[in-house]
Chains A and B, each alone.
Chain A
Amino acid sequence: MTPDIFRILPEVVLTLVGVLVMLTDASMSPKSSRRLLGWVAALGVLAALAASLWQGTLPAGTAFYGTVQTDAFSTFFHVLICGIVLVAILLSIDTLPPDRSPEQHHVGEYFALMVFGAVGMCLLTSAVELLVVFIALEISSISTYVLAGYRKQTGKGPEAAMKYFLLGSFATAFLLYGIAMVFGATGTTEVREIATLLPAARSHLFVLLAFGLMMVGVLFKVSAAPFHVWTPDVYEGAPTPVVALMSTAPKVAAFALLIRLLYGVFPLLHPLWMPLMWVVAAVSMTVGNLAALRQQNVKRMLAYSSIAHAGYLLTAFTGSGTEPIAAVGFYTAAYAAMNVGIFALLSVVGGYDERRSSVTDYRGVLYSSPLSGGLMLLFLISLIGIPFTGGFFAKFYSFTTAMQGGAGWLVLIGLLNSGIAAAYYLRLALSMALPSAASAKAQGLSSVGAGVVLAVGIAALATLALGILPGHVLDAAHAAAQSFAAIRGF
Chain B
Amino acid sequence: MILSLILLVPLAGAALVLLLPERGRIPAWIALLDSLFTFVCTLHLPAHFVSGRGGFQFEENVLWLSHPRISYHLGVDGLSLWLVVLVGLLAPVGVLASWKSIQKNTKAFYSLFLLQQTAMVGVFVSLDLMLYYGFWELSLIPIAILTAMFGRNLNESSAMKAALRFFLYTFIPSAPLLVALLWLYAHTGSFDYTALQAAIASGSLPSWQLGWVSVAFLLAFAVKVPVLGLHGWLADTFSEAPVAIAMIAAGKLGLYSLIRFHVELFPALAREAAPWMIGLAVIGILYGAMLALVQRDFWKLLAYATLSSLSFCTLGIYGFTLSGMNGALLQTVNEGLIGAALFLMLGVLFDGARSCQIADFGGAAHRAPRLAALFVIASLAMIGLPLLNGFVGEFLVLSGTFTGVSKGWATAAALGVILSAAYMLRLIQKIFLGEAETNSPRIRDLSWQETCTVAALAGIMLAMGVMPTIWISTMEPALQSVTQKILTVDQSPVSTASGTVASASTGEPR
Q: Which of B128-168 contact A (CB under 8 A)?
A: 133-135, 137-138, 140-141, 144-145, 148-149, 153, 157, 159-160, 163-164, 167-168
**Are B138 and A399 in touch, CB under 8 angstroms?**
no
B178 within 8 A of A: yes
Report if A199 contacts B (CB, 8 A).
no
Of the candidates A386, A419, A423, the one whose C-beta lies within 8 Å of that of B138 is: A386
The reply to whether A381 and B141 contact each other, CB–CB distance below 8 Å, is yes
Q: Which residue of A lies closest to B168 (CB)?
A: A423
Instruction: Name the residue among B153, B163, B186 with the largest chain A CB count within 10 angstroms.
Output: B186
- A131 CB within 8 Å of chain B: no
Give every chain A residue within 8 A of B29 (Cβ-Cβ): none
For residue B182, which residues in chain A have a CB less than 8 angstroms away from its CB?
A: 396, 399-400, 403, 411
Q: B471 contacts which chain A residues (CB < 8 A)?
A: none
Q: Which residues of chain A have C-beta atoms less than 8 A from B66's C-beta?
A: 471
Q: Is A412 an interface residue (CB 8 A)?
A: yes
A69 contacts chain B at the CB level, 8 A cutoff: no
Chain A residues, CB < 8 A from B176: 412, 415-416
Contact with B along A408-434 (1 / 0, CB 8 A): 100110011011001100110111011
Chain A, 180-234, CB within 8 A of any chain B CB: none
> Does chain B have a CB within 8 A of A273?
no
Please, what's the 1-or-0 string for A393-412, where 1 marks a CB less than 8 Å from any CB in chain B?
00011011001100010011
A474 to chain B, nearest CB (A): 7
Question: Which residue of chain B has the shortest Cβ distance to A478 in the bound complex?
Answer: B67
Evaluate contact between B175 and A430: CB separation under 8 angstroms.
no
Complex Cα–Cα for A478 and B66 (A): 12
Q: Is the CB of A474 within 8 A of B148?
A: no
Distance (whole angstroms) from the CB of B223 to the closest CB of chain A: 12
- Chain A residues contacting B168 (CB-CB under 8 Å) are 419, 422-423, 426
Nearest-Cβ distance from residue A484 to partner chain B, whole angstroms = 17
- What total count of A-B pairs have CB within 8 Å? 96
B67 surroundings in chain A (CB, below 8 A):
474, 478
B368 is an interface residue with CB less than 8 A from chain A = no
B183 contacts A by Cβ under 8 Å: yes
B373 at the interface (CB under 8 A from A): no
B449 CB-CB contact with A under 8 Å: no
Residue numbers in B under 8 Å from A397 (CB-CB): 68
Q: Which residues of A contact B145 (CB under 8 A)?
A: 377, 429-430, 433
Would you list which residues of chain B between 316 and 365 have a CB under 8 Å from chain A? Answer: none
Query: Residue-by-residue, is B452-488 near A (CB-CB < 8 Å gives 1, otherwise 0)?
Result: 0000000000000000000000000000000000000
How many Å lie between the Cα of A325 and that of B188 in the bound state?
23
User: Chain A interface mostly helix, strand, loop or mixed?
Assistant: helix
Question: What is the minimal beta-carbon distance from A467 to any residue of chain B, in angstroms?
Answer: 9
B20 within 8 A of A: no
A238 at the interface (CB under 8 A from B): no
| Interface contact A471-B138, CB-CB below 8 Å | no
Please indicate the chain B residues that have their CB under 8 angstroms from the CB of A404 in the complex. 186
Interface residue B171 (Cβ < 8 Å from any Cβ of A): yes
B70 to chain A, nearest CB (A): 9
Residue from B149, B175, B178, B179 within 8 A of A434 (CB atoms) = B149
Give the CA-CA distance A388 to B138 in the complex, in Å: 8
State whether A430 and B65 are in contact (beta carbons under 8 Å apart), knowing that A370-B108, A381-B141, A419-B171 are contacts in the complex: no
Residue B496 lies at the interface, judged by CB distance under 8 Å to chain A: no
Q: Which residue of A lies closest to B149 (CB)?
A: A433
- B504 located at the interface, meaning its Cβ lies under 8 Å from any Cβ of chain A in the complex: no
Question: Distance (Å) between the CB of B230 and the closest chain A CB?
Answer: 15
Measured in the bound complex, the distance between the Cα atoms of B438 and A156 in whole Å is 63
Cβ–Cβ < 8 Å partners of A431 in chain B: 160
Known contacts A408-B183, A416-B175; is A423 also within 8 Å of B164 by CB?
yes
Chain B CB within 8 A of A367 CB: yes
With CB as the reference atom, state the residue of chain A lying closest to B140. Answer: A386
CA–CA, A387 and B137, complex, Å: 7
Judge whether B108 and A387 touch: CB under 8 Å. no
Q: Which of A374, A377, A396 is packed against the most chain B CB atoms within 10 Å?
A: A396
CB distance from B166 to the nearest CB of A (A): 10
Q: Is A83 an interface residue (CB 8 A)?
A: no
A178 interfacial by beta-carbon distance below 8 Å:
no
The A239-295 residues at the B interface (CB cut-off 8 A) are none
B160 to A415, Cβ gap below 8 A? no
Knowing A366-B108, A433-B145, A434-B159, the reply to whether A412 touches B164 (Cβ < 8 A) is: no
A435 adjacent to chain B (CB < 8 Å): yes
Q: Does B172 contact A (CB under 8 A)?
A: yes
B179 touches A411 (CB 8 A): yes
- 8 A Cβ contacts from B188-202 to A: none
Is B179 a contact of A415 with CB atoms below 8 Å?
yes
Chain A residues in 8 Å Cβ range of B178: 396, 399, 415
User: Which A residues are CB-close (under 8 A) to B138?
Assistant: 386-388
A430-B171 contact in complex given A366-B108, A386-B138, A471-B65, C-beta closer than 8 Å: no
Max chain A Cβ within 10 angstroms of own Cβ: one of B140, B149, B167, B182: B182
User: In whole angstroms, what is the CA distance A416 to B177 when docked?
Assistant: 10
Residue A158 interfacial (CB < 8 Å): no
| Set B134, B164, B167, B172: member contacting A416, Cβ < 8 A | B172
A400 touches B68 (CB 8 A): yes
Select B163's contact among A370, A400, A430, beta carbons within 8 Å: A430
CA distance A367 to B153 in the complex (A): 17
Kindly list chain B residues whose C-beta atoms are within 8 Å of the C-beta of A403: 179, 182-183, 185-186
| Cα distance A367–B109 in the bound complex, in angstroms | 12
B179 touches A408 (CB 8 A): yes
Contact A430 B179 (CB under 8 A): no
Q: Which residues of A (456-490) have their CB < 8 Å from a CB of B?
A: 470-471, 474, 478
Tell me, yes or no, whether B429 is within 8 Å of chain A by CB. Answer: no
Residues 65-109 of B, flagged 1 when their CB comes within 8 A of A and 0 if not, give 111100000000000000000000000000000000000010110
- Once the chains are docked, how many angstroms separate the CA of A79 from the CA of B172? 36
Residues of B within 8 A of A384 (CB): 171
Q: Which residue of B lies closest to A397 (CB)?
A: B68
Task: Tell me, in angstroms, the Cα distance from A474 to B137 when the chains sit together.
Answer: 22
CA distance A430 to B186 in the complex (A): 36
Q: Are B164 and A427 in contact (CB under 8 A)?
A: yes
A304-B148 Cα distance, complex, nearest whole Å: 25
With A and B bound together, what is the CA distance between A411 and B186 in angstroms? 12
Residues on A with C-beta less than 8 A from B105 are 367
Q: Which residue of B lies closest to A393 (CB)?
A: B65
Residue pair B183, A422 in contact (C-beta under 8 Å): no
**Do residues B134 and A433 form an inter-chain contact, with CB atoms below 8 A?**
no
Q: A419-B171, A433-B149 are in contact. List 10 more A-B contacts (CB 8 A).
A: A366-B108, A386-B137, A386-B141, A392-B134, A412-B176, A422-B171, A426-B144, A426-B163, A433-B145, A435-B149
Q: List 21 A-B contacts (CB under 8 A).
A: A387-B134, A387-B135, A387-B138, A388-B138, A392-B134, A399-B182, A400-B182, A403-B186, A404-B186, A408-B183, A411-B179, A415-B176, A416-B172, A416-B176, A419-B168, A422-B168, A422-B171, A431-B160, A433-B149, A434-B157, A435-B153
Question: Nearest 6 A-B pairs (CB), nearest first?
Answer: A387-B134, A415-B175, A419-B172, A433-B148, A430-B148, A433-B149
